[in-house]
A = this chain, B = another copy of it.
Amino acid sequence: MEEYPSKLLEKAIQQFNILPGVGRKTALRLALFLLRQPKETANEFGNAFIKLRNEIIYCENCFNISDLPLCTICSSPKREDKVICVVEDIRDVMAIENTSQFRGKYHVLGGIISPMEGIGPSDIRVEELITRVKENGIEEVIMALSTTMEGDTTNFYIYKRLKDYNVLISTLAQGVASGDELEYTDELTLGRSLLNRVPYENSLHS
Among B12, B20, B26, B51, which residue has its beta carbon within 8 angstroms of that of A48? B12
* Any B CB within 8 A of the CB of A93: yes
A65 B9 Cβ-Cβ under 8 A:
yes
B49 A5 Cβ-Cβ under 8 A:
no
Give Cα distance in the complex from A43 to B94, angstroms.
Answer: 27
Q: Taking each of A8, A31, A54, which has the highest tally of chain B beta carbons within 10 Å of its own beta carbon? A: A8
B65 A11 Cβ-Cβ under 8 A:
no
Among B7, B48, B65, B73, which residue has its beta carbon within 8 angstroms of that of A67? B7
The count of chain A contact residues (Cβ–Cβ below 8 Å) is 58
* Any B CB within 8 A of the CB of A72: yes
B5 A66 Cβ-Cβ under 8 A:
yes
A56 B8 Cβ-Cβ under 8 A:
yes
Contacts of A72 in B (CB 8 A): 5
Give Cα distance in the complex from A52 to B10, angstroms.
Answer: 9
Among B5, B33, B45, B59, which residue has its beta carbon within 8 angstroms of that of A93? B5
Known: A20-B33, A45-B49; 8 extra A-B contacts, CB below 8 A, are A5-B64, A5-B65, A8-B52, A29-B91, A42-B54, A43-B53, A43-B54, A46-B46
